[in-house]
Amino acid sequence: MTVIHVPRPDVKSAMDSDRPVNTLLKAQIQHLRDAERNLPLRHRTDIYVNAIKTEGEAAEYIRQVTEAIREAHEAAAAKRGRGIAIAAAAADRPRRKGASASGEKKKSTVKRGRKT
């Protein structure tokens, strides 16, 4: 079986995070900026995309927004899961005599007020 050696590039000369952003990354940033605008405020970055000039700066923005999109979806899924769990727990709880089938509380006839 033939083994083909694959030369590695010299990382020091190949890597340049100060390289100006290429058109592909500019497009990706634009797409992520549009997506970021749809995120709840707490998930948004504080990066001004018009100031992104280098590949390194682009990479940081791309990372933050990609993570934020995932986190926003995970948060929504968790909330959905809690909602389902609560509904399931309520359905499983044995009903007290006189309790409505819908689980609605009966209006209390006890007057609440401070003890004097």
| Footprint on this chain of other proteins (rule: CB under 8 A) | 1-9, 11, 13-17, 19, 22-28, 30-32, 34-35, 38, 55-56, 58-60, 62-63, 65-67, 69-70, 73
Give the span between the Cα atoms of 98 and 51, in whole angstroms: 65
Tell me whether residue 27 or residue 99 sits nearer to other proteins (CB atom).
Answer: 27
Q: What angle do CA 86, 40, 24 make, to 5 degrees?
A: 125
> What's the rounded Cα separation, in Å, for the pair 16 and 50?
20
CB of 66 to other proteins, least distance (A): 4
CA 91 to CA 85: how far, in whole Å? 10
In the complex with other proteins, which residue's Cβ is closer, 11 or 110? Answer: 11
In the complex, the smallest distance separating the C-beta of residue 83 from other proteins, rounded to whole angstroms, is 19
For 115, how many CA atoms within 13 A lie in the half-sphere containing its CB? 0
Nearer to other proteins, 35 or 47 (CB): 35
Q: Measured from the CB of residue 103, what is the shortest distance to other proteins in angstroms?
A: 32
